[in-house]
Structure 1
Amino acid sequence: MEFWTDLHDIINKDVLLPDFYMEYGRLADVGIKRGEPFPKDEETKKILLEAGQTALGQMMVEALCSDRPDRLIWNGKNWEWVALIEETGF
């Protein structure tokens, strides 16, 4: 739950960026809203914990299950680059 409480604090302290309004809306759907207390009910807690587990699994798949040919570091070896992405957007 620490991730979610930290995220709630960030949402309340940082400047909200227009590029992320959709994400702020998604967070609001699960009770993480600017200017409101962090939700403490068991249903929300269960949703957030499950979301964290799902996100971890998805990140591991994206980082470690690439089929890109350039993922291999050396020919003939099983060493692979982790988290290959086309464009970072930074």
Structure 2
Amino acid sequence: MSTIGSGKGMSEKDLLMPPVYDGDILDGYTPHYRQTRKLILLMRVAVPTGHYDEAVALARKLKVYALGNDASAQTYEIVDVKGNPAPLPMLTWEMSMDYWRQFHSVIDHEIAQPRHRFMAGLPNLGGIPKGQAFEPDARMETILTDAAMTGWAIMNVNLFANGHPESLTWPDRNWEFILLIGPLNPETERFRNSQLLGLGLE
């Protein structure tokens, strides 16, 4: 989209398509096919002067609205949070049973994708089945709470204290891959080596 999209930032109209849609596309729109029901839009704004207020004003020129409505009927609002802490509700539940309740709601709501069928089936082993109520007993709650805390700890080590050289994008810089596995290309030797390191098989 924008300057790197088909419209090169010149009044481009992008159309966000629902999953498994195979109908006609209206003329004048650039379609973007998503694979999930929910979608997060990220916008990076840059202005020549570098002034914050100009960037906010430019961001407010973006229009997001349902197809068939006028552009004035946009469904979002740019909120200027300068000087205020950004709310991150996830931080309040990422190490507790609330994490698994959120996880279950995503599994229940979203479409199961064939390429993720193996990983999508794993939650069933933990009593988090798609299409069924999530009602863990006391034993399972203890297991899941411990798992959430362990996963949080592993994630922080991988992100902030990763000692494996494969985590570096370039050997002479400090730009790191977020994930331990590095580039997501299983055909590369670097990918296979990082997998072995992650499993402790070096």
Q: TM-score range by the shorter chain?
A: 0.7 to 0.9
Contact 1:31 1:38 in 2 (8 A): yes
Aligned to 2:178: 83
2:148 equivalent to 1:52 = yes
When the two chains are superposed, the root-mean-square deviation of aligned CA atoms in Å is: 2.3
Q: Deviations over 1:39-77 (max 9, x none)?
A: 23111111110110110111111112233354647xxxx
Give, as a single letter, the amino acid of the residue that structure 1 aligns with 2:183.
E
Gap runs ≥5 in structure 1: 74-80
Q: Which has the higher contact order (CA 8 A, sep 6+)?
A: 1
* Cα distance change of structure 1 residues 70 and 36 upon mapping to structure 2, 3 Å threshold: farther
Over 3 Å counting, the alpha-carbon distance change for 1:40 and 1:83 in structure 2 is same
Q: Which residue of 1 aligns with 2:158?
A: 62
Conserved? CA contact 2:123–2:129, under 8 Å? yes
Structure 2: distance between partners of 1:2 and 1:45: 10
Q: Which runs of 5+ in 2 are unaligned?
A: 1-96, 166-170, 186-202
TM-score, normalised to structure 2, is 0.36
Q: Answer 1 or 2: which has greater helix percent.
A: 1
Q: Percent identity?
A: 26
Alpha-carbon distance in 2 for matches of 1:52, 1:20: 21
**TM (normalized to structure 1)?**
0.73
Q: 1:71·1:82 contact (CA, 8 Å) conserved in 2?
A: no
Cα distance in 2, alignment partners of residues 84 and 48 from structure 1: 22
- Deviation of residue 29 (structure 1)? 0.2
Given that residues 100 and 144 in structure 2 are in contact (C-alpha distance below 8 angstroms), is that contact kept between their aligned partners in structure 1? yes
Output the amino acid matched with 1:22.
F
Count of aligned residue pairs for this structure pair:
82
SS at match of 1:40: coil
Output the CA distance in 2 between the equivalents of 1:84 and 1:9. Answer: 25
Q: For the pair shown, which has the larger CA radius of gyration, 1 or 2? A: 2
